[in-house]
Copies of this chain bind each other. A is one copy, B any other.
Amino acid sequence: MEGGKKQPSVVLLNCSASMFGCRVRIALARKGIAYEEKPENLGAKSPLLLSSNPVHGKIPVLIVDGKPICESLVILEFIDEAFPCEPSLLPSDPFARAHDRFWASFVDSKIAPPAMKVWASPAPAVEAARGELVAAMRTLEAELGEKRYFGGDAVGFVDVALVPFTAWFATYERFGGFSVAEECPTLAAWAARCRDENECVAASLPETEFVYQFACGMRKHFGLDG
């Protein structure tokens, strides 16, 4: 798949509101890789999704020349390796690569679970989830520090892993009763910067209101709202 060769066929099985699917959209856009997105209805998964990810049955799945790759961070690494054109998502130095993988893993283990609980839990569990989420966001703020992006001067692996959650910030705020800008102003500024200065981000993120309506629908599905 090096330059000069024909680009392979690239299909993304996705759900528009998914943070994890959005990571793949951004990575493909950032690399300039053309692809076809096939929307999945998670209430009635397609035979293609179930045969492409028989272990988890989850989106996103990237199908490249008929071969499926599952799990969003695995897909990001695949995109960097299979399409080695610039810009790279990961840096080249082994220490710096480990650093980025550590923080992307932090997003999955410390941001994603409380973020889900903030909007998808019964009321008594929301306060604890909000506390966990804000604490994890503050840890990320400390890591960002004075840098423009987690990747330094440009969007990198950690930015791509984290920025899709920003499309959910308004939903977390409405159900969690807090303000990201007040609690984590550095992270809020980074989120705006990612979107304002990077077409690959702006064009890939779902609309705030779409995400909120999706969350409302899921809450009904979970029996949280009448």
Contacts and interface: CB of A to CB of B under 8 A. Distances in A.
Given A55-B106, A106-B55, A139-B55, A97 B70 contact: no
A110 B120 CA distance: 22
A75 B55 contact: no
Main SS class of interface, A? helix
A102 B82 contact: no
A183 B101 CA distance: 35
A46 to B, nearest CB: 20
A69 interface: yes
Interface string A67-79: 1011101110110
Nearest to A97: B81
Given A82-B94, A94-B81, A95-B78, A101 B55 contact: no
Contacts of A64: 95
A203 interface: no
A75 B94 CA distance: 10
A105 interface: yes
Given A81-B94, A95-B78, A102 B70 contact: yes
Contact of A101 (B67, B77, B82): B77
Nearest to A75: B98
Given A71-B102, A77-B101, 8 more contacts: A55-B106, A55-B139, A64-B95, A70-B102, A73-B105, A75-B98, A78-B94, A78-B98
